[in-house]
């Protein structure tokens, strides 16, 4: 039986997903799996969904580092660190790499 506590975790995980806080959402789904006495496929689906988004974000960050020399795609709350001037041909190259990465995962 799913307890109200588990439903709260699920609601919190869904909220974290809406905010695109993938690691936080995945941790909440994993907490649900670990503590729920009855297997819930939706929880495993949540973990898989979050892992997919984490993998995509990781690949995009790697492309940004290699192609655009942007060290991180995380917001650092500083104009000097969060805004970058790049040439359009560099942007095109990064977009092509991202597109190819997406095509290869299908």
The predicted-structure confidence for 68-94, as pLDDT tens digits, reads as follows 999 999 999 999 999 999 999 999 999
Quote the mean pLDDT of the chain: 91
Contact (Cβ atoms closer than 8 angstroms) between residue 45 and residue 9: no
Between CA 44 and CA 32 the distance in angstroms is 9
Question: Among residues 80, 82, 86, which one has the least CA distance to residue 68?
Answer: 86
**pTM for the structure as a whole:** 0.82
9, exposed or middle or buried, with CB in 10 Å at 0-12, 13-18, 19+? buried
The gap from C-alpha 87 to its chain's centroid, in whole angstroms, comes to: 27
Between CA 42 and CA 48 the distance in angstroms is 10
- Binning pLDDT at 50, 70 and 90, where does residue 6 land? low
Check residue 1 and give its pLDDT: 55
């Amino acid at each position: 039986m799913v307890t109200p506590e588990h439903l709260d975790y699920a609601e919190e995980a869904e909220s974290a997903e809406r905010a695109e806080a993938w690691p936080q959402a995945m941790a909440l789904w994993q907490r649900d799996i670990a503590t729920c006495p009855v297997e819930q496929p939706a929880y495993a689906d949540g973990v898989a969904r979050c892992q997919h988004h984490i993998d995509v974000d990781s690949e995009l960050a790697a492309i940004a580092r290699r192609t655009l020399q942007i060290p991180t795609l995380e917001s650092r709350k500083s104009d000097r660190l969060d805004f970058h001037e790049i040439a359009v041909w560099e942007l095109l190259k990064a977009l092509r790499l991202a597109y190819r990465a997406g095509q290869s995962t299908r």
